[in-house]
Amino acid sequence: MAFIQIIEYETERADEMWALGEARSAAMGDSPPGFRLKVTQDRDDPKRFVTIVEFPSYEMAMENSAKADTDAFARQMAALCTGAPRYRNLDVRRTVPQEE
């Protein structure tokens, strides 16, 4: 079953956050199959962001979370936020149109 993690956060240091994300992407290299990441910005409150991370399974997400570099990235990201990021862990129950 697919798994999505949503991270909601606010920052006044968007440029630094972007640079951190770009460095992380470069360090990761090729994304594993089924992995997708979307970074969104709130039109009504430009300091508010939502990152959507998609994994093929909960188990793959937890393997990723257990990595030391993932923990370091999360700590660096949190340091750039104005408050603690909020995480939502979601099992995908239905997708339309149906994915192969």
pLDDT tens sequence across 12-59: 999 999 999 999 888 887 777 888 999 999 999 999 999 999 999 999
CA angle centred on 87, ends 85 and 90, rounded to 5°: 165
Does residue 80 belong to any structural domain of this protein?
no
Task: Please state, in angstroms and rounded to a whole number, the distance separating the CA atoms of residues 36 and 32.
Answer: 9
Would you state the pLDDT for residue 19? Answer: 95
Which domain range does residue 37 map to?
1-54
Does residue 36 belong to any structural domain of this protein?
yes
Would you state the pLDDT for residue 1? Answer: 86
pLDDT in tens, 61-96: 999 889 899 999 999 999 999 999 999 999 999 999
Task: Please state, in angstroms and rounded to a whole number, the distance separating the CA atoms of residues 71 and 76.
Answer: 9
Does residue 67 belong to any structural domain of this protein?
no
State how many domains the chain has.
1
Residue type, 29: G
Does the pTM exceed 0.85?
A: yes
Count of alpha carbons within 13 angstroms of residue 85, beta-carbon side: 22
